Amino acid sequence: MDVTVAADRAALVKARDSLGPGRIALVPTMGALHEGHRSLVRLAREHADHVVVSVFVNPLQFGPHEDFSRYPRTFDADLRVCEEEGAGVVFAPSAEDMYLPDRQVEVSAGGMGGTAEGAFRPGHFDGVLTVVLKLFNLVRPDVAVFGQKDAQQLALIRRMTADLDVPVSIVAAPTVREPDGLALSSRNRYLSEDDRRTALALSRALSAGAARARTGPAGVLDAARAVLEEAARFDPPLLLDYLILADPATFAPVGGDHRGEAVLAVAAKVGTTRLIDNMVLTL
């Protein structure tokens, strides 16, 4: 299937109008597409007649010491993925086309954006929500698909659409993992062989916590923390940023007597690469 590339707003309007009648699904990405992204596009096709994939490395969600300049950019390969998975349009704007030079207004993620990932990356979720809202306004999709791997991002996007009455249905796609359990990420390509062995502690910790779900929050966290503490002694070591058992809707830490659904989320650095992962549990 041929895919239309829209490199700016005007081209996007023309490409969108050429899709014809039917529901439109948006899959926002920063490129460097892998099997996880393929699963997003496949799920989008189940929910709509046409799929638009955005490929845009959003500068607003990177901090001053983060990896914006080295974030992988593989547009030709990304385009092939979109063609193979049946996307109709790829929207690949420049930062100059997305943002006015005298930009003043951004979306605030509020207190919900300051916990867990937001505590370690101040302003990150403001940048995420700003670009997502802009993409919603530009593409005008009926539905948008996001990965469960970015659980806090997913929760915040759902909250934004509810709080601001954005007429887009949000669909979550399950996390796709490699055979050894490592969650697929564009940043996995930065891992050396030794880094990767250490990084596997993330998924092992989540599984250990999930196995203790019947014991309640304390048991879940203790089991996961034990795996992570062991990995801190590996070479290279796993350097933990946070381990949290959170309400999936608000991402606030759950209380000791919590029952029902919760998200066990972890973030850590291995070598020069920072990774996140999570698992949804029923306590």
Determine whether the annotation assigns residue 11 to a binding site: no
Neighbour tally for 174: CB within 10 Å = 12
Determine whether the annotation assigns residue 104 to a binding site: no
Separation of alpha carbons 4 and 82, rounded Å:
10
Separation of alpha carbons 212 and 78, rounded Å:
39
Residue 236, CA atoms < 13 Å, CB-side half-sphere: 16
Determine whether the annotation assigns residue 61 to a binding site: yes
Determine whether the annotation assigns residue 269 to a binding site: no
Determine whether the annotation assigns residue 32 to a binding site: yes
Sheet architecture: strand order including 143-147: 4-6, 89-91, 50-55, 24-29, 143-147, 169-173
37 in active site:
yes
Residue 48, CA atoms < 13 Å, CB-side half-sphere: 30
Separation of alpha carbons 249 and 110, rounded Å:
14
Determine whether the annotation assigns residue 46 to a binding site: no
Determine whether the annotation assigns residue 108 to a binding site: no
Determine whether the annotation assigns residue 30 to a binding site: yes
Determine whether the annotation assigns residue 256 to a binding site: no
Dig out the tokens for 278 from the structure. Answer: 């999570």
Determine whether the annotation assigns residue 184 to a binding site: yes
C-beta separation of 206 from 233 below 8 A: no
Separation of alpha carbons 37 and 27, rounded Å:
8
Determine whether the annotation assigns residue 187 to a binding site: yes
C-beta separation of 217 from 252 below 8 A: no
Candidate list 37, 50, 124, 258, residue with the active-site label: 37
Determine whether the annotation assigns residue 203 to a binding site: no
Annotated binding site: which residue ranges?
Answer: 30-37, 61, 147-150, 153, 176, 184-187
Annotated binding site for ATP: which residue ranges?
Answer: 30-37, 147-150, 176, 184-187
Annotated binding site for (R)-pantoate: which residue ranges?
Answer: 61, 153
> Which residues carry out catalysis?
37
